[in-house]
Amino acid sequence: MRGRRQRVWLKTACVGLFLFGVGGCTPLNTQCQVRQPEAQVRSVAVVQAAVQPEVPASPFRAPYIPAPGKMTFCGERVPLNNEMVYERFDREFTIVVYDHAQVYLWLKRMQRYFPMIEERLRHYGLPDDLKYVAIAQTDLVSNTGSSNSFSGSTDSTFLLLQNLYHKYHNWALALAANNCGNERVSEAIRTQGVDDYYELRLPERTERYVFRILAIKAVLSDPEKYGYHLPKIYGYKP
């Protein structure tokens, strides 16, 4: 009887030790299984950092060129103190002032064509600023390669602008009508009850067209101010 009790006790003790061992090791094994991926993630991150070093910042910095805060066109003040007007102008100015190749091409062609254009404007008694309209419309490129053909084209534009100015008594409106048509501008003025170009809603291409002319004047009337310098010997000859 006594030997039987000892055997039962030993059996119970062994089972308990076995269960304790299993139960005790389970959380340890589980802990190991949870921590192992974290260690692997850390090691992978270290390897990636070693393979892909941080890229240093570029030493190049594009200079910021602010648009002018005051401007006139054909003697008329552009209301750049109006925030919305300034933003619309700044958009076109930024596009023009950073287009280095195009600006230098304009400067080269100006030496060929501006003397002739300025003479035609004086002949018709028109403001000198209208020469920038020729740049916006043609980039000072003659499709036929003939100066006479280019002169005839600009003359027709100047005469049309002269007639439009006599109707609207405002150069900005005359430019807008030259772009989208006299009837479209007249209808917009009638339906919107506004005769100020800068408050008038017109097709986007027309609104951008006028501000592009203003931007071209701003840059080309004082190119040195914006970092452009073209020695005269590099300009295109007549």
**What is d(CA 225, CA 221) in angstroms, rounded to the nearest whole number?**
9
User: CB of 170 within 8 A of CB of 178?
Assistant: no
The closest alpha carbon to 151, from 161, 162, 160, 140, belongs to 140
Predicted confidence band of residue 149 (pLDDT cuts 50, 70, 90): low
Same domain, 109 and 6: no
Question: Do 104 and 223 touch, CB atoms closer than 8 A?
Answer: no
Between 54 and 12, name the one with better pLDDT.
54
Q: Can you give the residue range of the structural domain that contains 105?
A: 72-234
- pTM summary value: 0.74
Inside any domain, residue 144:
yes
**CATH number of the domain bearing residue 124:** 1.10.530
Which residues make Cβ contacts (< 8 Å) with residue 59, sequence separation at least 6? Answer: none
Q: Domain check: are 161 and 108 in the same one?
A: yes
Number of folded domains that form the chain: 2
The 10 Å CB-count burial string (b at 16+, else e) for 43-72 is: eeeeeeeeeeeeeeeeeeeeeeeebbeebe
Token duo for residue 55: 């890229």
Angstrom distances, CA of residue 149 to CA of 62, 138, 158: 40, 12, 14
Q: Is residue 131 part of a domain?
A: yes
Contact 114, 104 (CB under 8 A): no
Would you call 177 helix, strand, or coil by DSSP? helix
- Largest Cα–Cα separation, the chain: 139
Does the structure show a pLDDT above 80 at 229?
yes
Is 67 part of a structural domain of the chain?
Answer: no
Give CA–CA dist 46/94, Å, rounded.
44
Structure tokens at 82: 């109006």
Q: Do 54 and 97 belong to one domain?
A: no
Same domain, 122 and 150: yes
- Are 125 and 216 in a shared domain? yes
Phi/psi at 51 (nearest 5 deg)? -75, -35
Does some domain include residue 112?
yes
27/135 same-domain check: no
Say yes or no: 86 and 19 in one domain.
Answer: no
Whether residue 57 is predicted with pLDDT greater than 60 in this model: the reply is: yes
Asked if residue 65 is part of any domain, the answer here is no
Query: Tens of pLDDT along 4-49?
Result: 555 544 555 444 444 444 444 444 444 444 455 555 555 655 555 5
The domain boundary residue, chosen from 35, 60, 85: 60
- The answer on 91 and 25 residing in a single domain is no
Query: Are 96 and 54 in a shared domain?
Result: no
Residue 79 and residue 44 share a domain: no
* 163-207 confidence digits (pLDDT tens): 999 999 999 999 999 999 999 999 999 999 999 999 999 999 999
